[in-house]
Amino acid sequence: MSSYSKILQFSNFYYNKGLICAEVHDMSGAIDNLSKSLRYNKNNIDARNLLGLCYYEIGECVFALREWVISINIKSEDNLAAEYIDDIQPDITRTGKFSQCIKKYNQALLYANEGNEDLAIVQLKRVIGINPKFVKAALLLGLLYIHNEQYKEAVNVLEAIAKVDANNTTLIRYLKEAREELAKKDEKKSKGKKTITDDGTVAYISENDTIIKPSHFRDNATLNTMVNIIFGLVVGILIGVFLIVPGVKREASRESAQKLVDANNNIATKNAAIKDYQDKINDLTKKLNALSDSEESTNTNMSFYKNLLAMYVSFNNGEYREAGEALSKINEDSIEPDYKDIYEKLKNQVNDKYCQMLYAEAGGNYNQGNYEDAIVVFEKIIQLNPTYGDGNALYFLAQSYRLTGDNQKAITYYQRLINECPDSAKAANAKSHLERLTK
Amino acid sequence: MINFEEELKKFKPSLEVEEAEEAIYNKNLDDMTDVLQEMLKEARRVQR
C-alpha cells in the first residue's frame, strides 16, 4: 500500500471516529477527531462538512461557516456545504440570530471580567434563550452560578448543555463541582431538620444533639404574654430588616440590571443598523463620485470636439485667426490615440496659416514703430513655432525689446536665436547686438 | 475546587460573523500530504 493510500486511510479512520462521536452527542470528541481527519487529508469533504455541522451544533457558527466555505472552495459542485450555508444565511446577517448571540456572549464575557456578574448572568440567560445549544455561553453561565453559589441553577444549565456536548471536559468538571456543592448544601439543611415524634413532642437534630420540645407549653402569666408580644414585634422588625428589605433591594437591582442589558442590546442593534446605513451611504457616495467623474469626462470630450469643429470650420472659411484661437483652446490630452495623426496634420496647417497672418501683423506694427504691440504678437508666434521664419520671429522680438529699452529680454531672445538657429541670416546680426548689449 | 478567576481567563470572546473572512484566510490548510511533499523536497535539496 502506498504512503498516500495510508494517509487517506488514516483520514477516513478519524472521520469514522468523529462520526460516531457526533452520533452520541460528543461534540468535543467529534471536533477533535474530524480535525485530525482533515490534518491527514484536507480534501476529505465529508469530514469538513461534518466538522462544520459540529461547530454549528455547539453554537460556533463562524467556525462552521469557515469549514463550509473552504469545503465549497475545494469542491464547488454537488456539495452539501452550499445548502448548509444557504440555510444559516438569514441568521448570520448583522442583525441575525447568531450574530446577536455572539455579540451578547462577548458582552457578557466583558461584564464578567469587569466583575458585573449579575449583568453577565442576565445577558447569558438571553443568549441561551436564543440559542440553547451555545456551549461556551452555557459553560460561562454555569461558572458564574457556581461562583455565586447558585449550585442548583448551575446544575440545571450544565445538565441541559450536557445533552449537546456530553464529553466536554470543562463541562464535566463544572458539573461535578456544582453537584458536590449542592450535595453539601442539602446535607447541611437536613442536619437542622425537625421531626415530630409519636407522642406529639417536636425533636430538632443539630449536629450530634437532639433537642426535644414538648408538644404543648402553657404559661398564663400576663408578663410572659407581654414579653412574648414585644419579642414577636422585635422578631418581626428584624425579619423585615434582614430578610424582606434585602429581597426588595435585590429585586430592584435585578430589574435595573435587566434594564441596563435591554438598553445595551438596543444600542448594539441600533449601532448595527447605523453601520448598515453608513455602508449604504458610502456605496451611494462612491456611485455619485463615479457618475460625477464620468460626467466631467464627457464634458471635457464635448468641449474638445466643439473647439476642434470650430477650428476646422474657421480654417475652411479662411478665418485663420479664429482657427488659431480655437486651436489654442483645444486640450490635447483629450485626443484619442487613433485620431492623433490627423489632428497633428490639421494643427500644422492651421498653425502655418495663423503664424503667417500673425507675422504680417507683427511686422506691420514693428515697421510703424508700435514695438509694444509687435512684442505681443511676436510672443504668440514664438509660442506656436519658436523658430518661425528661420528665426526671424525671434530676431524681431529681440529687436522690439531692445527698442523699447528692455535689454535683459532682448539679450534672452538674441541668445535663443543664436542657440536655436545658428545658421540663420539674422544670427550674425543677433551676435553683434548681443556683444554690444553685454559690454 | 474551581478557581473562578483562572477559569474565567480561559473564556475568550467568540469570533463575530464580520470576522469570518479573516478566519477563513488565516486557517492553516496544510495536511499530511503537504508535509510529506515538503520533506521530500528538503531531502532532494540535501542530496544535491
Q: Tell me: pLDDT of A270 over 80.
A: yes
Residue A307: inside a domain:
no
Residue numbers of the domain that contains A389: 336-438
- Chain A residue numbers touching B27 (CB-CB < 8 A): 66, 70
Domain annotation covers residue A325: no
Rounded to the nearest angstrom, the gap between the alpha carbon of residue A99 and the centroid of all alpha carbons in its chain is 15
Predicted confidence (pLDDT) per residue in A91-101, tens digit: 887 778 888 89
Query: Domain end: A92, A123, A148, which one?
Result: A92
- Assess if residue A315 is contained within a domain: no
Task: Check pLDDT > 60 for residue B8.
Answer: yes
pLDDT at A281: 92
Cβ within 8 Å, pair A70-B24: yes
Looking at residues A72-88, what average pLDDT do you find? Answer: 92
Q: Does B36 contact A7 at a Cβ distance shorter than 8 Å?
A: yes
Amino acid (1-letter code) at residue A187: E
The pLDDT score that the predictor gives to residue A139 is 95
Which of A92, A112, A131 is where one domain is finished? A92
CA distance B13 to chain A (A): 5
Residue (of A66, A54, A263) closest to A165 by Cα position: A54
Contact criterion met (CB below 8 Å) for A192 and A206: yes
Interface test with B, best of A40, A55, A65 (most B CBs within 10 A): A65
* Residues of chain A contacting residue B8, judged by C-beta atoms under 8 Å apart: 112-113, 143
- Say how far apart CA B26 and CA A417 lie, in whole Å: 69
Final residue of a structural domain among A213, A235, A256: A213
> Cβ(A382)–Cβ(A401) under 8 Å?
no
| Residues of chain B neighbouring A40 (CB-CB closer than 8 A) | 31-32
From chain A, the residues in CB contact with B2 under 8 A are: 143, 146, 173-174, 177
CA-CA-CA-CA torsion for A226, A229, A235, A237, nearest 10 degrees?
A: -110
Contact by Cβ (8 Å): A338, A312 = no
A213 — pLDDT class (breaks 50, 70, 90): low
Report pLDDT digits (tens) over A47-79: 999 999 999 999 999 999 999 999 999 999 999
What per-residue confidence (pLDDT) applies to A354? 86
Q: Tell me, yes or no, whether A425 and A352 share the same domain.
A: yes
Q: Give B-chain residues touching A92 at CB under 8 angstroms.
A: 17, 20
- A210 versus B28: the higher-pLDDT residue is B28
Q: Which of A151-165, A183-197, A211-225, B6-20 has the lowest mean pLDDT?
A: A211-225
Contact A304, A334 (CB under 8 A): yes
- d(CA A187, CA A192) in angstroms, rounded, equals 9
In this complex, which of A93, A102, A113 lies closest to B14 when CB atoms are compared?
Answer: A102
Same-domain pairing of A80 and A48: yes
Confidence band for A195, pLDDT divided at 50, 70 and 90: low
* Predicted local distance difference test score (pLDDT) of residue A197: 57
CATH number at residue A202: 1.25.40.10
Residue in the structure block whose three cell numbers are 482533515: A38
pLDDT for A232 equals 93
Q: Is the pLDDT of residue A80 over 90?
A: yes
Residue A14: per-residue pLDDT: 96
> H-type helices in A163-211, by residue range?
169-191
Q: What is the mean pLDDT of residues A298-323?
A: 81
Please indicate, yes or no, whether residues A81 and A104 belong to a single structural domain of this protein: no
Give the mean pLDDT of A256-268. 88
A59, A76: one domain: yes
pLDDT at A396: 92
Mean pLDDT: which of A21-30, A196-205, A253-262, B21-30 is highest? A21-30
ipTM: 0.87
Asked whether A177 and B1 are in contact (CB, 8 A), the reply is yes
Structure confidence at residue A337 (pLDDT) = 78
pLDDT at A27 over 80: yes
The verdict on a CB contact (< 8 Å) between B17 and A106 is no
Asked if A36 has any chain B CB less than 8 Å from its own CB, the reply is no
Q: Assess whether A16 and A68 both reside in one domain.
A: yes
A194, pLDDT greater than 60: no
Mean predicted confidence (pLDDT) in A367-373: 91
Measured in angstroms, the CA of A254 and the nearest CA of chain B are apart by 22
| Pair (A64, A158) in one structural domain | no
For chain B, the residues whose C-beta falls within 8 A of a C-beta of chain A are: 1-2, 4, 7-8, 10-11, 13-20, 23-24, 27, 29-34, 36
Any domain includes A304: no
Nearest CB among B7, B8, B20 relative to A65 is that of B20
Give a yes or no: residue A192 inside a domain: yes
Distance CA A358, CA A397 (A): 13
For residues A372-391, average pLDDT:
88
A152, with CB counted inside 10 A (0-12, 13-18, 19+), is middle
Angle among Cα A241, A247, A248 to the nearest 5 degrees reads 90
Q: Which pLDDT score, from 0 to 100, does residue A312 have?
A: 83
Identify the pLDDT of residue A324: 81
Does residue A103 fall inside a structural domain? yes
pLDDT of residue A246: 85
On whether both A399 and A360 belong to a single domain, the answer is: yes
Rounded to an integer, the average pLDDT of A204-220 is 59
Contact across the interface for A112 and B29, Cβ inside 8 Å: no
Mean pLDDT, to the nearest integer, of A129-158? Answer: 94
In the predicted model, what is the mean pLDDT of residues A26-46?
A: 94
Percentage of residues of chain A with pLDDT beyond 90: 47
CB A135 within 8 A of CB A171: yes
Q: Distance from B47 to chain A by nearest Cα, in Å?
A: 21
HEC string of A202-226 equals EEEEECCEEEEECCCCCCCCHHHHH
pLDDT over threshold 60, residue A228: yes
pLDDT tens for A106-115 read: 999 999 999 9
Residue A439, pLDDT > 70, answer: yes
When divided into structural domains, chain A yields a total of: 3
Assess whether pLDDT exceeds 90 at residue A261.
no
Asked if A102 has any chain B CB less than 8 Å from its own CB, the reply is: yes
Please give the pLDDT value at position A168: 93
Q: What is the pLDDT of residues A320-345, one digit of tens each?
A: 888 888 877 777 777 777 777 888 88
C-alpha distances out from residue A121 to A85, A105, A124, A220, A376, Å: 31, 10, 5, 54, 87
Rounded average pLDDT over A398-426: 89
- The angle, 0 to 180 degrees and rounded to 10, between the axes of the packed helices A245-316 and A340-367 is 60
Using a CB-CB distance cutoff of 8 angstroms, which residues of chain A are in contact with residue B14? 60, 62, 102, 105-106, 136
CA distance A50 to A236: 62
